[in-house]
Amino acid sequence: MTDKSCPITPGVPDLSTIETVSLNPENTLQNYQKAMVIAKEQAEQRLEEYMLISWYDRDRDFESPPNTTEKSDDGPKDGYIHYGLNHGAKLKVDIENGRFVFFFTPIEW
């Protein structure tokens, strides 16, 4: 029996507790480094002091921390999402519809 009142799909990360910023620059970004500059600007505006927790670069199909996706098939990587959420991420910056994705947490002193 399925509980239809549950808004969370099993296996899909719940991003409802974090702010998500989706950006689509007019000019396609050249690489990950350019995306990182933009993502850090967004984090600084929203969090002041912050730490990058995890990220994904679809061009290279690389996630950080590496090997956090525990799948044997060729499905999309999502370990970086779970890692970010489980380590206090409060901001997700998605650039070019998932091409580059960054998770940040505020630093609280």
Task: Tell me if 7 is assigned to some domain.
Answer: no
The enclosing domain of 86 has a CATH number of 3.30.1490.340
Provide the residue range defining the domain that includes 86.
19-106
Alpha carbon 48 to chain centroid distance?
18
Task: Tell me if 54 is assigned to some domain.
Answer: yes
As for how many domains the chain has, the answer is 1
Give the per-residue pLDDT at 72: 60
pLDDT in tens, 45-96: 999 899 999 999 999 989 998 878 776 666 678 889 999 999 999 999 999 9
Token pair recorded at residue 56: 């994904």
Question: Is the entire prediction scored with pTM above 0.75?
Answer: yes
Task: Tell me if 46 is assigned to some domain.
Answer: yes
Task: Tell me if 48 is assigned to some domain.
Answer: yes
Give the per-residue pLDDT at 77: 80
Task: Tell me if 14 is assigned to some domain.
Answer: no
C-alpha dist (Å) from residue 38 to 1, 13, 29, 33, 71: 45, 24, 10, 9, 30
